[in-house]
């Protein structure tokens, strides 16, 4: 019985030699499709990056402690409420809290430059928030002291960032699934037709 099964299986694979080739091609197509689906399912974000320095009236760098203060000031309610009013038309706490999550600032240890990052799903939105945040920060600093000002060294540059997907898993999984589906279907049809012709 087992020998007969082996013979039938070998005969079936001989009949399916062209179907195996088609199954490979179909598997490749499914692998490409699976990779596209994986990329589509992976959330991406737009990040607007602006660099600036804070100079005092005679052109010298601000003191180190002031840099830390100004970096904290970027995410303060005072600054972000003004941003919220221009972006959303109000200073609702939900909008302000959203901006606090989207806006961040960092300073390179080896320089006096501050980098402002704004992240979101829309390119125009992150650029607008970045520009208005700088504007609001300028007004805040001017209200404290006239001796210092912001010097923007670059306009908002927008980058698209996303989580890296494991491409191998999607490619191998898509190929195996496509190959097996096509080959199983072809084998079923061949066996069914052979049994019906008996």
What single DSSP character describes residue 197?
T
Predicted confidence at residue 198, as pLDDT, reads: 63
Extended strands (E) in the chain: 44-56, 103-107, 114-120, 148-152, 157-162
The C-alpha R_g of the chain, in whole angstroms, comes to 30
> Which residues partner with 106 through β-bridges?
115
Share of the chain above pLDDT 70, in %: 76
Q: Where are the domains of the chain?
A: 15-41+164-196, 44-162
In this predicted model, which residue has the larger pLDDT, 38 or 103? Answer: 103
Q: Is residue 84 over pLDDT 90? A: yes
Q: What is the pLDDT of residue 69?
A: 78
Q: Residue 118 and residue 125: Cα distance in Å, rounded?
A: 9
> Does the pLDDT at position 163 exceed 70?
no
Global pTM value: 0.58
**pLDDT tens track for 18-76:** 777 888 888 899 888 888 887 777 666 888 998 888 776 554 545 566 777 778 888 88
Please give the CATH number for the structural domain made up of 44-162: 3.30.70.1130
Interatomic CA distance for residues 50 and 154, integer angstroms: 6
Kindly report which listed range (98-102, 128-132, 154-158, 165-169) carries the lowest average pLDDT score: 165-169
Q: Are 31 and 169 in contact (CB under 8 A)?
A: no
C-alpha dihedral (5, 9, 10, 14), degrees to nearest 10? 150
The DSSP letter of residue 145 is -
pLDDT of 174 over the 60 cut: yes
């Amino acid at each position: 019985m087992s020998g007969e099964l082996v013979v039938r299986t070998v005969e079936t694979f001989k009949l399916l030699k062209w179907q195996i080739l088609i199954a490979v091609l179909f598997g490749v197509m499914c692998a490409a499709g699976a990779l596209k689906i994986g990329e589509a399912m992976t959330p991406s974000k737009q990040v607007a990056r602006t660099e600036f320095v804070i100079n005092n009236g005679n052109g010298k760098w601000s003191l180190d402690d002031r840099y830390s203060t100004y970096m904290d000031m970027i995410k303060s309610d005072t600054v972000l409420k003004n941003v919220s009013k221009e972006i959303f038309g109000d200073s609702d706490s939900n909008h302000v809290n959203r901006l606090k999550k989207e806006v961040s600032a960092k300073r390179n240890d080896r320089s006096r430059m501050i980098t402002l990052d704004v992240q979101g799903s829309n390119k125009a939105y992150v650029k607008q928030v970045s520009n208005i945040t700088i504007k609001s920060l300028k007004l805040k600093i001017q209200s404290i002291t006239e001796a210092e000002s912001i010097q923007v060294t670059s306009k908002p540059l927008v980058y698209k960032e996303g989580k890296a997907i494991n491409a191998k898993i999607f490619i191998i999984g898509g190929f195996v699934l496509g190959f097996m589906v096509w080959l199983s279907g072809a084998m079923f049809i061949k066996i069914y037709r052979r049994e019906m012709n008996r």
